[in-house]
Amino acid sequence: MSNSLPKSLQKVALFLERLPGIGEKSANRLAFYLLRMPDGDLKNFADNVAELKARTKRCQICMNLTEEDLCSICDTPSRDRSQITVVEDVLDLLSMETGNIYNGLYHVLHGRIDPLNHIGPENIFIDQLFERVKSEGSNLGVPVKEIILATNPDMEGEATAMYIRNKLQEIQHSKGLDFDISRLGYGMPMGGNLEYADYMTLRKALENRRGF
């Protein structure tokens, strides 16, 4: 941004440029847009940003983001409390919630096992999942019947899912618990073309095939 512009405007644009997916031109446009906003709207926006970290916390049960002790999902009595889907982050949870295709609970890891970036099981919320499975009370008083591993289908996601599966099997044997462990199915998307599918997609499509 040109040095001839006010420093306050330059600072806002430089900050916006640090956000994911925002380049220099987009940051400049957004900074000018904020400058043109009515004073009341801009103040309301600034107040919400200032309160973001202070008001947002993790759900005591599933680690989803919330402003209360429990998130709206864990606090909904009609959800199937015997089913837990494990996701890497909150954005994955939001995708699962689209279209009302799932009515169980979640556990948000807030990351995945990634040794190359020095992220181990102790750096994400895996142990909280294991404690939740061991204790009925930590799952809102309902025994767990199924845990769906919905980490992403890449190397780190697969490693995370395998680690969780192995630990859950140990818990089953040591505690005498009976629940299913499943992996979210992956494969060819609707409208996909075999010619352009990569090796991993085809492999998963074959592994997840069913009767027809």
Average pLDDT over residues 110-132: 95
Nearest Cα to Cα of residue 142 among 104, 197, 185, 168: 104
pLDDT tens for 72-89 read 999 999 999 999 999 999
Domain extents for the chain? Answer: 7-55, 71-184
Rounded to two decimals, the pTM is 0.83
Kindly indicate the confidence band of residue 204, based on its pLDDT and cuts at 50, 70 and 90.
confident
CATH 1.10.8.420 matches 7-55: yes
CB atoms closer than 10 angstroms to residue 74: 20
The structural architecture, per CATH, of the domain 71-184 is 3-Layer(aba) Sandwich (3.40)
Kindly indicate the confidence band of residue 139, based on its pLDDT and cuts at 50, 70 and 90.
low
